[in-house]
Amino acid sequence: MNIVFLGLPGTGKGTQAESLAGEMGVPHIATGDIFRQAISRGTELGKKAKQYLDSGELVPDEVTCGMVKERLAEQDTKPGFILDGFPRTIAQAEALDRIMQELGRELQKVIFFSAPEDVLIKRLSGRRVCSKCGATYHVEHNPPAQRGICDKCGGELIQREDDREQTVIRRLEVNRDKTQKLITYYQRQGKLTTIDANGPLEEVQKQLKEAVGVQ
């Protein structure tokens, strides 16, 4: 199944995508993760993306769409994929429709993660990520067994630069109207399912599994 996860920063897309993709045996493709890896490797893509990520702005569509097109053409996406953080603009949604058509495939579902913005600010300010494997934690809602250390690989947990309060506020501003337009776009295509992402992790996961038909 080919699925898009749509939602404002901090709604839990990455956390849920990671476990669902594992269960479904499909890749979790997160545009933010691809940019961060490119930045840490110092590639051309990373050089183009860095200023945008640091300030909470969107990377230009032409850069992002080309990158997603290449990634979706890879063999491991054949059984399906979870695309997390793309599209974020109508131009990206239209590009995705074209990419899918060219690949002779179809986007089956768009899951919209809905949660109030005050909750998102708290989640993002308490988020910690593993500097080695990228696993995501929260200081209160999803803490590691040992403070500051990743359960999965023993790496050091750090705060993302763009999780500082001012940048979080900017990210919400940048994405608010665009996300609303995408909701309408996918409602018209009959692909949108909204889930309440404001509950505990397990409840969100339960709704998500029902929405995609995974037991």
Any idea which residues carry the catalytic annotation?
13, 88, 127, 160, 171
How would you classify the pairing of strands 81-84 and 2-7? parallel
24 versus 120: smaller Cβ distance to ligand AP5: 120
Q: Measured from the CB of residue 158, what is the shortest distance to ligand AP5 in angstroms?
A: 12
In the bound state with ligand AP5, the residue whose beta carbon lies nearer, of 71 and 171, is: 171
Count, in order, helices (H) and strands (E) of the chain.
Answer: 8, 8
Contact 52, 32 (CB under 8 A): no
Helix, strand, coil percent values for the chain (each to nearest 5): 50, 15, 30
Rg (CA), the chain: 16
Shortest-Cβ-distance residue relative to ligand AP5: 32
In the complex, least distance from residue 151 CB atom to ligand AP5, rounded to whole angstroms: 12
By CB under 6 A, name the binding residues for ligand AP5: 7, 9-15, 30-32, 35, 52-53, 56-59, 64, 85-86, 88, 92, 123-124, 126-127, 136-138, 141-142, 162, 171, 200-201, 204
CB contact set of 55 (below 8 Å; sequence gap of 6+): 167, 170
Cβ nearer to ligand AP5, comparing 1 with 90: 90
Closest CB 190 distance from ligand AP5, rounded Å: 23
